[in-house]
Amino acid sequence: MSNGSTGDLARVERELLARWPESRLEPSLTRINALVDLLGNPHRAMPVIQVAGTNGKTTTARMVDELLRGFGLRVGRFTSPHLESMRERIVLDGEPVSPERFVETYADIAPYVQMVDAAGEHPMSFFEVMVGMAYALFADAPVDVAVIEVGMGGTWDATNVADARVAVVTPVAMDHAEYLGPDVATIAGEKAGIIKADSIAVLAHQQPGALDSLVRRAVEVEAVVAREGTEFGVLERRVAIGGQQVRLQGLGGEYDEVYLPLFGAHQAQNAATALAAVEAFLGAGAATGPIEQETVRAAFAAVRSPGRLERVRTSPSVLIDAAHNPAGMTATVEAIRESFDFTRLVGVVGAVRGKDVTGMLAALEEVCAELVVTQNSSERALPADELGALAVDVFGADRVSVSPRLPEAIDEAIELAEAGEDHALGGSGVLVTGSVITAGEARALFSGRRP
């Protein structure tokens, strides 16, 4: 990457970050509708598979992308938030778009963004502009299909200007209650907004209240419904080196001997959901039989999900995980218990304000011998001393230490892990978690990049 393109990318990133952040919402599709209208409706240039839900959205979108490309389709993928680079959000042919293309796309749509800014009560947000860039880039590529992850909710999310051919909803749990509602039924009702007339709704396993809201919406708009546990699901799984071996029930039949290089029951569930979404998109079902098994196996074997129980160091093992709510942390803890033989695990936690931090800590307490609390660089970061006070309530003072800077917190956790009696036997480890931002910054530290 030349110095010129580096400078241009940095300038574009600064301009984008100067806009309303993702944490500030004004529920309306007015601005994004105005932008895509000015751009010639790029969101209608290709069919869309849209992914909503509370946990597992990004990984499921990655799996859908991998499967579709295995079947020879050109795929654009939009996900959020990013771990390290803003370009990770807009993926073409399986790779983040180049700095040059990112800058070019921004330059192409910027005059129209300014027109929308000038006409409205509020300027466009960071997320809205990113969505506009993704749709414009995918239309220009052009792609055969766009895999689009919802930012937050569904009905009012900027991605929802598109009418998805396949609407995927991963498990719904409590998160962003201040924006989405006080219970899972209400939150699911908001996420159900991605289910449109003539679409196929692929629903991962849901809590009863959430499932009712999603099915009600599907009935209202006369969408076809496929539910995990009924039309598709995980038939069998066993731990394997570096991941798990699974047998999946798809819409078109069974898929056996599928190796998934990811840990935990939740990832097998994401795989079943992604497979059903791709089958639905390709028109497979009971009448047609399964899609090509070897292609499915090869695609799942190639799936990577950075920052999701990702091992970035050995002896002691350091795992990075982006869990940021109690449901996500519970899935992470269960996966660690199943797939790793730690006799001593030290946690490093950095969280942001507005989350159920105590719920996350309660899940972690079951597997972590000690905890080092820290804070990430986000403006919304929960200060380390506040997080420490919450941690003491859960873990007790003798198991908690406070280290406000992430690099030092990780170093301290590694020392604590190495101090364990079983370290020489490979039984100690470190888990860095609590926020996507914390996971991304830790990942950058271990890869030698500056967070």
- Note the pLDDT of residue 449: 65
Query: What pLDDT score does 45 carry?
Result: 98
134: which residues sit within 8 A by CB, 6+ positions away? Answer: 76, 78, 89, 90, 146, 148
Fold of 310-447: Protein-Tyrosine Phosphatase; Chain A (3.90.190)
Q: Which of 18-22, 126-130, 248-252, 289-293 has the lowest mean pLDDT?
A: 18-22
Mean pLDDT of 315-323: 95
CA atoms in the 13 A half-sphere facing the CB of 33: 10
pLDDT of residue 183: 85
What does the pLDDT look like over 157-193, one tens digit per residue?
A: 999 999 999 999 999 986 544 555 558 899 999 999 9
The pLDDT of residue 77 is above 90: yes
Picking from 203, 37, 220, 15, the residue whose alpha carbon sits closest to that of residue 102 is 15
Max Cα-Cα span within the chain:
65
- pTM equals 0.94
State the Cα–Cα distance between residues 422 and 82, nearest whole angstrom: 36
Q: Where in the chain is the domain with CATH 3.40.1190.10?
A: 3-302
Structure tokens at 362: 């309660």
Q: Kindly tell me if the per-residue pLDDT of 81 is higher than 60.
A: yes
What does pLDDT average to over the chain?
94
Q: Are 215 and 189 in contact (CB under 8 A)?
A: no
User: Does residue 226 surpass a pLDDT of 80?
Assistant: yes
> CATH 3.90.190.20 residue ranges in the chain?
310-447
CB 327 within 8 A of CB 171: yes
pLDDT at position 4 is 55
Q: Report the amino acid identity of residue 216.
A: R
pLDDT at 423 over 80: no
Task: Please give the Cα distance from 339 to 263 (Å, whole number).
Answer: 7
pLDDT of residue 174: 66
pLDDT of residue 175: 59
- As a CATH number, domain 3-302 is 3.40.1190.10
- Nearest-10 crossing angle of helices 326-339, 265-282: 110
Tokens 């969280």: give the residue.
351
Please say if the pLDDT value at position 447 is more than 70: yes
* Predicted confidence (pLDDT) per residue in 353-409, tens digit: 989 999 999 999 999 999 999 999 999 999 999 999 999 999 999 999 999 999 999
